[in-house]
Amino acid sequence: MYVAGIDVGAATAKCVIMDDGEIVGYEIIPVSYDLSESAKRVFNATLKKLGISADEIKSVVSTGYGRYNVPFAKKQVTEISCHGRGAIFLIPSTRTIIDIGGQDTKVIAINERGRVLDFVMNDKCAAGTGRFLEVMARVLDVKVEEMGEIALRAKKKVKISSTCTVFAESEVINHLVHKVPREDIIAGLVDAISSRVAALAQRVTIRPDVILTGGVAKNEAVRRSLSEKLGLEILRPKEPQIVGAIGAALFARDILQGKR
Ligand SMILES: Nc1ncnc2c1ncn2[C@@H]1O[C@H](COP(=O)(O)OP(=O)(O)OP(=O)(O)O)[C@@H](O)[C@H]1O
Ligand SMILES: [Mg+2]
């Protein structure tokens, strides 16, 4: 029986459809200001991709910043709980999750069943989130998806000293004016974001295995830099952006089975 998990984040909406505890398909789309329209659109896109009709989905759970904008969801569950559940499903050895999304960054400590033991969140400042990289990608005229690869080509990294995104943007412009190679600037930005995330992570007890999730986890330079700063290996699921939506789908399955 089909169930769905929908994660409406600040940057993207994600939908995962599962059948009997197996992922059958998913979609990721950018969100618009109309969150409920974004939720419907990602749901319909996933159904269309799989050739399934909406009435075949027996239970839907929503999560993320826009979780109350999913009128067809039976229940809303926090992103923290959904990430815990999704992470254990994908990588059972996970004990710490670092999620770098579009608007906030979370570090979540979980037990072997995916239950949340502790978490910290940076949600008041763009530095240390995907938004920081998006702002900088625009100034540098590169795609956010390419930044990791470009950073890995750097010969040396520039020091970005401002912790504020707005001031850091001025620093980047200044480096461009002085003809500093783009890759060296991007390597500096990767270092800046991973320093912020590492400082946040140190506020919880980090136990291995540590996994990196969220859109920014697709940036390999961030994963490596964070790994170096924390002094441990950081794993990444094959599709790190849908971990919360997977957790939501698993909660949707619990509802069908009468566990919730
Ligand atoms: N292919 C990619 N490679 C590198 N970075 C990416 C890629 N796709 C997205 N990103 C980054 O990921 C961010 C979005 O991540 P994600 O979709 O996890 O956010 P979200 O869940 O909508 O936000 P939040 O959890 O903060 O509400 C973007 O801001 C961008 O910086
Ligand atoms: Mg998110």
- pLDDT tens by residue, 84-142: 999 999 999 999 999 999 999 999 999 999 999 999 999 788 999 999 999 999 999 99
CA 259 – ligand 1 centroid, Å: 32
Q: Which ligand is nearest to the CA of 105?
A: 1
For the Cβ of 123 lying below 6 angstroms from any atom of ligand 1, the answer is no
- pLDDT tens by residue, 38-75: 999 999 999 999 999 999 999 999 999 999 999 999 99
**Distance, first Cα to last Cα, the chain:** 17
Residues 15 and 100 in one domain: no
Q: What is the pLDDT of residue 241?
A: 98
For the Cβ of 151 lying below 6 angstroms from any atom of ligand 1, the answer is no
User: How many CA atoms lie less than 13 Å away from 29 in the CB half-sphere?
Assistant: 19
Residues 128 and 222 in one domain: yes
Residues 104 and 206 in one domain: yes
Residues 119 and 221 in one domain: yes
Residues 100 and 229 in one domain: yes
For the Cβ of 215 lying below 6 angstroms from any atom of ligand 1, the answer is yes
How many structural domains does the chain have? 2
- Of all protein residues, whose CA lies closest to atom 10 belonging to ligand 1? 215
Q: What is the pLDDT of residue 17?
A: 98
CA 215 – ligand 1 centroid, Å: 3
Residues 8 and 62 in one domain: yes
Which CATH number belongs to the domain containing residue 3 in this structure?
A: 3.30.420.40
For ligand 1, what atom is nearest to the CA of residue 104? 26
Q: Write down the pTM of the prediction.
A: 0.97
SS3 of residue 156 by DSSP: coil
- pLDDT tens by residue, 152-203: 999 999 999 998 999 999 999 999 999 999 999 999 999 999 999 999 999 9
- pLDDT tens by residue, 13-37: 999 999 999 999 999 999 999 999 9
Residues 106 and 52 in one domain: no
For the Cβ of 218 lying below 6 angstroms from any atom of ligand 1, the answer is yes
Q: Range of 177's domain?
A: 93-236
Residues 86 and 48 in one domain: yes
Residues 87 and 98 in one domain: no
Residues 225 and 214 in one domain: yes
Residues 107 and 167 in one domain: yes
For ligand 1, what atom is nearest to the CA of residue 131? 29
Residues 116 and 47 in one domain: no
Is residue 74 classed exposed, middle or buried when 0-12, 13-18 and 19+ CB atoms within 10 A define those classes? middle
DSSP state, 240?
G
Alpha helices, H only, 130-179:
130-140, 147-152, 165-177
Q: What is the pLDDT of residue 124?
A: 83
